[in-house]
Chain A
Amino acid sequence: QKEVEQDPGPLSVPEGAIVSLNCTYSNSAFQYFMWYRQYSRKGPELLMYTYSSGNKEDGRFTAQVDKSSKYISLFIRDSQPSDSATYLCAMARAGSYQLTFGKGTKLSVIP
């Protein structure tokens, strides 16, 4: 079993839809959780950073962490064509900057 599992998609939604992206993990040592957006042939861009269970909201993005279930989610409200990208979840142990990434989910928002 991989440490981090993420459905690679692809996921295609109409503009304005709510998008739900998810990752599961097996290592309870992970304490920091991140979501990155990566456009084709570009470096990942940090979207959300959380370290506790619960929800964190930033604009149209909401990150959700459930440590008891080892499950994290990213919700995108009112999705836009510009949101079309690959979304990577990433996790780190306490005191470490080394990230373990999911495979990424490719999202397409259709106008």
Chain B
Amino acid sequence: GAVVSQHPSRVICKSGTSVKIECRSLDFQATTMFWYRQFPKQSLMLMATSNEGSKATYEQGVEKDKFLINHASLTLSTLTVTSAHPEDSSFYICSASRDRQLFFGSGTQLSVL
């Protein structure tokens, strides 16, 4: 299957700081990438759809000014959590589409102190 790389796998930060998470498609070009959030024992919740060269589309209830998404190339999308607060602590996962299938990164555990 296709490979999607996500970094970092884990990050701990102080409240008020910003954190950037990278998602790369390693062996294919992805015009569309997706960002999900997952709380413990819960399913994945779509946050936003990232489109290369254009603005991301955010799901209802997701603050676009807080969760900045940049899809600058066909292989890289970034999610920046700005002014992070403890309630932003969660597991963030990206995915990229290829051949009608979605392939996921390994996830990033964000802990905001």
A residues apposed to B, CB below 8 Å: 8, 32, 34, 36, 41-46, 49, 88, 90, 97-99, 101-104
Contact = CB atoms under 8 A, between A and B. Distances in A.
A104 B107 contact: no
Max count, chain B CB within 10 A of own CB: residue among A41, A90, A97: A97
Nearest to B93: A43
A101 to B, nearest CB: 4
Contacts of A99: 34, 44, 46, 102
Contact of A44 (B6, B46, B49, B104): B104
A37 to B, nearest CB: 11
A46 B102 contact: yes
Task: Tell me whether chain A's interface is mostly helix, strand or loop, or mixed.
Answer: loop
Given A41-B107, A43-B105, A97-B102, A103 B32 contact: no
Contacts of A46: 1, 101-104
B42 interface: yes
A43 B49 contact: no
Contacts of A101: 43-44
Contact of A43 (B41, B97, B100, B106): B106
A13 to B, nearest CB: 20
B48 to A, nearest CB: 11
9 contacts: A34-B102, A36-B104, A43-B106, A44-B93, A46-B102, A88-B44, A97-B34, A99-B46, A99-B102
Contacts of A32: 100
B109 interface: yes
Contact of B106 (A42, A90, A98): A42
A32 B91 CA distance: 26
